[in-house]
Amino acid sequence: MQYQIQGGNLPVVICTLNNGESMITERGSMSWMSPNMKMETTTNGGMGRAFGRMLSGESLFQNIYTAQGGAGMIAFASSFPGSIRPLQIQPGKSMIVQKRAFLASERGVELSIHFHRKLGSGFFGGEGFIMQKLSGQGTAFIEIDGSAIEYHLNPGQVMIVDTGYLAAMDETCSMDIVTVPGVKNALFGGEGLFNTKITGPGNIILQTMPISAVASSIAPAMSSK
């Protein structure tokens, strides 16, 4: 599989597949394709995994597109202004991503549910108690809200992230919450009561325009009309 990411801030990933190669995507993610791409709708692992994906923000079913009779082309467009980031998934290098981040992947990549080990990070950390896990082998594509900024954290190194700005992290990283210090800061600082604490080792990907932040900015204008 070869790919190109085009479209600037309204991105699309265009994948070229050899005969017999397949891509997996969530329902409704295909944007355009060549006529020799065969679609198969499946639970991809049984109803147990399907319900797990549903809890992590995806649909019960996945679509598998396979090139038949020669090379094929298929494109997957982002559902929100931002960027598309390819992730190289391999045994021992799984990635944890935000809900609904998964766009498409090679067939060797498995999408599953990921629970936070600490309840506090789930209830107050801004990413929800449930996230998505990408494991297996192959290239996966995720949607980033806005631009993607990547950092590498050494063992024990910490990054404090505002609610919703964490897009993805290596499975080796840990996530928890911390309270904003000082009563006046928490009540009047405009940053909320909690921040997300990410501890290395591993890579993290932050996003510059979370949907939740966009919604908060638009809400006052909508309510005034």
- Grouped pLDDT means (10 residues each) for the chain, 225 residues: 95 97 88 97 60 52 93 95 95 91 94 67 50 94 95 97 91 85 47 79 95 64 59
| Range 10-33 burial, b when 16+ CB lie within 10 A, else e | ebbbbbebeeebbbbbbeebbeeb
- Rounded CA gap, 153 and 161, in Å? 13
Question: What is the per-residue pLDDT for 216?
Answer: 59
| Range 145-179 burial, b when 16+ CB lie within 10 A, else e | bbebeeeebeeeeebebbbbbbbbbbebbbbbbee
| Torsion sign (Cα): 138, 144, 148, 150 | negative
Question: What is the per-residue pLDDT for 99?
Answer: 83
- Which is the CATH superfamily of the domain at 2-218? Mitochondrial biogenesis AIM24 (3.60.160.10)
Query: Whole-model pTM?
Result: 0.82
Secondary structure class of 54 (helix, strand, coil): helix
Question: What is the per-residue pLDDT for 178?
Answer: 78
